[in-house]
Chain A
Amino acid sequence: MAADDNEKTNVRVDLVFCLFLIVLLVVFFVATLGYKPVTRRAPLIVMIPLAIMLVGQLAVLVNKIKKTRAKTVENSLLPKIDAEKLRKAVQLLLWMMFLLLMIHFAGHVGGIALFLILFLRFASHERWFLSISLGLVVAAALYVLFEVGLKIVLYPGAIYGYVSALIWS
């Protein structure tokens, strides 16, 4: 029964994803119309079979949902997406956006250290000692590897840029 529910959930999510791809394709198609013939040739050659395949996939999915609904009244109530999994996925997405923001403002090393400490403490529920030590060690290791070892300048961050501009002015 659980596997059956899981399959139905996948069909539902698959349908949403398929619709998303169709919308994306339509947006790309409309944009293509404004390009020179040579520029739009290759994209159009790809878009035509892609559109056919997407419509085919959509038909298969709609058919599947119809069949499921026709079986019994009970089965027609398609299960909702696993709320717990969705919550965890959204949570990680928000944390990743937070990481990008931290890097943008505090720079690579500072941002990563801060992100790791906060993530490990509040999302992974690790002890403060482990969170702080792991955060600092990983940030230091990345600095040594990239900045010192490979001579790659990591992103210094907006705060660094602002402070150095203040000092030099």
Chain B
Amino acid sequence: MYVIDGLLQGFVTAVSPGVLPYLIVGATLGLIIGIIPGLSGHFAMAMMIPFVFRMDPAVAVTFILAAHAAVAQGGGVTAILFATPGTGQNAATLLDGPAMTENGEAGRAVGAAMTACFLGAFFGVFVLTILLPILRRVVLLFGPPEFFMLAVLALTFIAVLGTSGNINKGLIAGALGLLLSFVGMGSVTGETRFTFGILELWDGLSMVPVLLGIFAVSEMIHLWVEGGTLAREATDEHPRALQRQIFEGVMDTLRHWWLVIRCSAIGTSMGLIPGLGSAPAAFVAYGHAKQTSKHPEKFGTGTVEGVIAPESANDAVEGGALASTLAFGIPGSSSMAILITALIILGVEPGPKFMVERLDLVFLMIWTVVLGNFVGTILGIVVANPLARVTFLRGSLLVPVLLTIILTGSFVIHSTWSDMVVALVFGLLGYAMKRLDYSRPAFIIGFVLGLMVERNLYLSLKLYGSTFFMEPLSFGLMLLTIVVLLYNVLKMLKGKREGYSLGS
């Protein structure tokens, strides 16, 4: 009963004149930041913290969370239209979004992505509302061995997404990403690794320039080398046609409601597990959609399911991440860590007591995620139209302009010139990987999970010795990893027998 009362009270607060304007402004800023390559949800939230010191906690939390909620929508728009993920969580959208743009279906992809984002977020907070009382027991089952095995499972999932069914190349890319994540000071001993005397590498390779290099700079090189426009097969440039496409995309998402629910469930469950974040969830959802599809061969060539799956998952993650953050004070993602910081600044401490004493804030947050996503979706659909028209510009104009924005995006996170060099170097690596069919998503996921893998491996060995993987849950995850890998290797060998080869 208290849930229904709380939801009603939360909704009334969220739409009250004192809060709603902050929600709209926050969501708008989040969308804009999401559109700019390199500026992530963490950046949006961190940027807002200095402005909320004197605000009422309800207003402040709404402002920050609305921005964070809308970031993925902005990132989705640029991932689809420019093959440049505005944020890391939209990286999986690159697998089919840009291909749809190339097929002249940019509007359809954006419409589908925006609707999937909103529905995914709605699903996430719906589950959060229902499961709050029992979440604690589930999350506390996960210790270092389980986290380690989960990371290995996530990487295995990603590797099987390697194009042309080449699992070997997918695994190479994932392992390479993991290896490069170890550059800089070791997370356990503090000893510097693989810096080769370069001072700028002591802090390691920053996530944002690496991501921008692998996905954005490489796309610019590709566009420049191949020539033409981003929308190569576009035929109809009229705004009404684009609006029709957007509407078609919205209807596509509603038609694939079962896929949305399944991928949102994946996102929400992965969001519950602290540290995994939305990027792996989006890739796992994509993998799931591909494996369960009747036409998996169309994935990667511009199918709408390939956009719906990751977009619904990456927003559903927030519901799960918010649950563990609020209930246990354990941040489900780096953005949630910033949210915790903001709450502490405002004099509110998340954790079990928070769930009892500030239930009003919990339900306000739930509504903020829903309404923030709704505002982001509406704005995203409106902004998509002029942005979609930009994709018809010729590459010779777009490449230099986007390059300057991308390099500026890689600079602003740490304000270091060397980050732009990193973006450039990884741009070349990304271009080579794109051309030779090495999975760039696998590389990025390996890179993101590196720190978590090392830390949990260390803790597992310390706590349980070398047989840590025999712990019941981690053993189950290991078995699942082996099954996934074997299934896909056998599938590939079967396919090879029928005509497609391992090395191509």
Residues on A close to B: CB < 8 A? 7, 10, 13-14, 17, 21, 25, 28, 31-32, 35-36, 38-43, 45-47, 49-50, 53-54, 56-57, 60-61, 63-64, 85, 88-89, 92-93, 95-97, 99-100, 103-104, 108, 112, 115-116, 119-120, 123-126, 134, 138-139, 142, 145-146, 150, 152-155
Question: Which chain B residues numbered 415 to 441 have a C-beta less than 8 Å away from chain A?
Answer: 415, 417, 420-421, 424, 427-428, 431-432, 435-436, 438
Bound-state CA distance A64–B166 (Å) is 15
* Chain A hits for B172, CB < 8 A: 21, 50, 53-54, 57
* Chain A hits for B431, CB < 8 A: 89
Bound-state CA distance A166–B256 (Å) is 65
* Chain B hits for A36, CB < 8 A: 189, 191
Is B407 within 8 A of A10, CB to CB?
no
B403 to chain A, nearest CB (A): 7
Question: Which chain B residues numbered 377 to 422 have a C-beta less than 8 Å away from chain A?
Answer: 396-397, 399-401, 403-405, 407-408, 411-412, 415, 417, 420-421
Is B194 within 8 A of A28, CB to CB?
yes
Task: Give the residue name and chain of the B residue nearest to A97 (CB).
Answer: B424
Given A85-B225, A92-B221, A116-B401, 9 more pairs with CB closer than 8 A: A32-B193, A36-B191, A42-B457, A42-B458, A95-B400, A100-B421, A126-B396, A154-B412, A155-B411
State whether the Cβ of B503 lies closer than 8 Å to any Cβ in chain A.
Answer: yes
* Chain A hits for B220, CB < 8 A: 92
State whether the Cβ of B502 lies closer than 8 Å to any Cβ in chain A.
Answer: yes
Bound-state CA distance A128–B35 (Å) is 29
Is A124 within 8 A of B397, CB to CB?
yes
Bound-state CA distance A108–B226 (Å) is 28
Number of A-B contacts (CB under 8 A): 152
Bound-state CA distance A63–B417 (Å) is 44
State whether the Cβ of B234 lies closer than 8 Å to any Cβ in chain A.
Answer: no
Bound-state CA distance A112–B67 (Å) is 29
* 8 pairs, A vs B, C-beta closer than 8 Å: A43-B182, A43-B193, A46-B178, A50-B172, A85-B226, A93-B428, A100-B421, A120-B400
Chain B interfacial residues counted at CB < 8 A: 55
Is B397 within 8 A of A38, CB to CB?
no
* Chain A hits for B11, CB < 8 A: none
Contact with A along B196-214 (1 / 0, CB 8 A): 1000000000000000000
* Chain A hits for B36, CB < 8 A: 145
Bound-state CA distance A126–B393 (Å) is 13
Is A103 within 8 A of B503, CB to CB?
no
Bound-state CA distance A63–B502 (Å) is 12
Bound-state CA distance A139–B401 (Å) is 9
Bound-state CA distance A103–B410 (Å) is 13
Task: Give the residue name and chain of the B residue nearest to A88 (CB).
Answer: B225
Among candidates A88, A103, A124, A153, residue contacting B400 with C-beta atoms closer than 8 Å: A124
A-B interface, 3 closest residue pairs, ranked by CB to CB distance from nearest: A60-B503, A124-B396, A50-B175
* Chain A hits for B408, CB < 8 A: 108, 112, 142, 146, 154
A149 to chain B, nearest CB (A): 9
Is B404 within 8 A of A115, CB to CB?
yes
Is B407 within 8 A of A99, CB to CB?
yes
Contact with A along B265-291 (1 / 0, CB 8 A): 000000000000000000000000000
Bound-state CA distance A56–B169 (Å) is 10
Known A36-B191, A85-B225; contact A100-B457, beta-carbon cutoff 8 A: no
Among candidates B169, B176, B400, B502, residue contacting A119 with C-beta atoms closer than 8 Å: B400
